[in-house]
Amino acid sequence: MSNQNSKLIFALLAGAAVGAAIGFYFASDNKEEIVEDLKTMAGKVKEEMEADLEKGKQLVDELKGKFKDLVNKV
């Protein structure tokens, strides 16, 4: 699957999730609880994304080092 197809699918799924959340919010009587739950979930997602970003940075640094070692051997 190409990168653009992946981005399109992600955007469609994110849009559907946002639409469902908005619909649920307007249909619910307990809006304050929903807002607090969404804030909590958003915080967790943010923490997970930051952790994944840090892992990605470490992987890139590791691969850079390996690539430099290979170049120096040649």
Q: How many CB atoms lie within 10 A of CB 25?
A: 13
pTM for this model (two decimals):
0.52
Give tens-digit pLDDT for 10-61.
Answer: 888 888 888 888 888 788 778 788 888 889 999 999 999 999 999 999 999 9
Question: Which residues fall within 8 angstroms of residue 34, CB to CB, at 6 or more apart?
Answer: 24, 25, 28
**pLDDT value, residue 60:** 93
Tens of pLDDT, residue by residue over 60-72, are 999 999 999 989 9
| Amino acid at site 45 | V
In this structure, the number of other CB atoms found within 10 A of the CB of residue 65 comes to 10
Q: How far apart are CA 21 and CA 38, in angstroms?
A: 9
Cα distance between residue 56 and residue 67, in whole Å: 16
